[in-house]
């Protein structure tokens, strides 16, 4: 008997992206869309695709993602964001693969785009990923309580798929800067509630280590100016988060 596959998307006012995302998930047996504080047409788009919709307001990212996992009834659950697309090759691979296993999770590689430019090298240090555990057996994955980049608890064997997710990260440099501002603001709230003990001097040092990690260790230099931009954003993220937590109230 074929295993049941659920596809889960968490969205906040994503009417411009959601339809294109859900179109690539038609191969799944069940669509679940969590609508977080949506005031646009996201719900109507999700319903047009026959998705199970859950509406609410979740200040903690991990909580809304866990809500979606709990609502998914499949043996396996594929998680996607609205700015991501499943390629045909990945869809075929998932369908074939899930029937072979009952537990664990799979890392799925990404092709990340800035505008129309594909950037494969340099991601990391809290600024994008080259692969992530997006396909998991039911009960094998749980998100943590952080507002941004929540921790993951994973159970069972780790495996790897070869098909890729196309991720349209940012349209341009302006979008990258907006994301840096949004990420660092959310991280600052977490730091005010749960300080990590990393002070000013260490966060300054992290600027250089994170830049090196993205630009050199993860070969961001191969992407030219795009690789430099990614490394710069990754370097600024922890120090900006720290300064916002120290110097701002909200």
Tens of pLDDT, residue by residue over 72-98, are: 999 999 999 999 999 999 999 999 999
Residues with Cβ within 8 Å of 99's Cβ and at least 6 positions away in sequence, in order, are: 2, 3
Q: What pLDDT score was predicted for residue 120?
A: 93
Q: What pLDDT score was predicted for residue 238?
A: 95
Q: What pLDDT score was predicted for residue 20?
A: 97
* Helix pair angle (225-247, 173-193), 10° resolution: 30
pTM value > 0.75: yes
Exposure of 233 in the CB half-sphere (CA atoms within 13 A): 25
Q: What residue spans define the domains of the chain?
A: 5-169, 171-247
Q: What pLDDT score was predicted for residue 147?
A: 84
Max CA pair span of the chain: 58
Q: What is the pLDDT of residues 96-135, one digit of tens each?
A: 999 999 999 999 999 999 999 999 999 988 888 899 999 9
Write the CATH number of the domain with boundaries 5-169.
3.90.550.10
DSSP state of 72: -
Q: How many whole angstroms separate alpha carbon 14 and alpha carbon 176? A: 17
Q: What angle do CA 228, 234, 238 make, to 5 degrees?
A: 150
Q: What pLDDT score was predicted for residue 126?
A: 82
Q: What pLDDT score was predicted for residue 172?
A: 96
User: Which residues of the chain are modeled with pLDDT < 50?
Assistant: none
């Amino acid at each position: 008997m074929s295993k049941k596959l659920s596809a889960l998307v968490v969205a906040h006012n994503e009417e411009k992206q959601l339809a294109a995302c859900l179109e690539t998930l038609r191969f799944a047996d069940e669509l679940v869309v969590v609508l977080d504080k949506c005031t646009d047409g996201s719900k109507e788009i999700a319903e047009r695709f026959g998705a199970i919709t859950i509406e609410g307001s979740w200040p903690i990212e991990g909580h809304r993602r866990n809500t979606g996992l709990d609502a998914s009834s499949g043996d396996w659950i594929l998680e996607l964001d609205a700015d991501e697309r499943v390629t045909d090759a990945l869809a075929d691979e998932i369908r074939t693969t899930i029937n072979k296993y009952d537990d664990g999770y799979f890392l799925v590689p990404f092709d990340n785009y800035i505008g129309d430019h594909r950037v494969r090298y340099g991601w990391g240090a809290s600024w994008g990923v080259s692969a992530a555990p997006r396909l998991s057996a039911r009960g094998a994955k749980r998100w943590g309580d952080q507002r941004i980049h929540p921790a993951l608890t994973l159970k069972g064997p780790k495996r790897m798929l070869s098909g890729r997710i196309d991720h349209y990260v940012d349209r341009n440099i302006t979008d990258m800067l907006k994301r840096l501002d949004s990420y660092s603001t959310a991280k600052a709230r977490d730091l005010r509630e749960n300080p990590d003990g990393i002070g000013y001097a260490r966060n300054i040092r992290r600027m250089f280590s994170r830049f090196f990690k993205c630009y050199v260790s993860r070969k961001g230099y191969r992407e030219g100016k795009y690789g430099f931009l990614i490394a710069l954003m990754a370097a600024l993220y922890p120090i900006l988060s720290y300064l916002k937590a120290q110097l701002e109230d909200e």
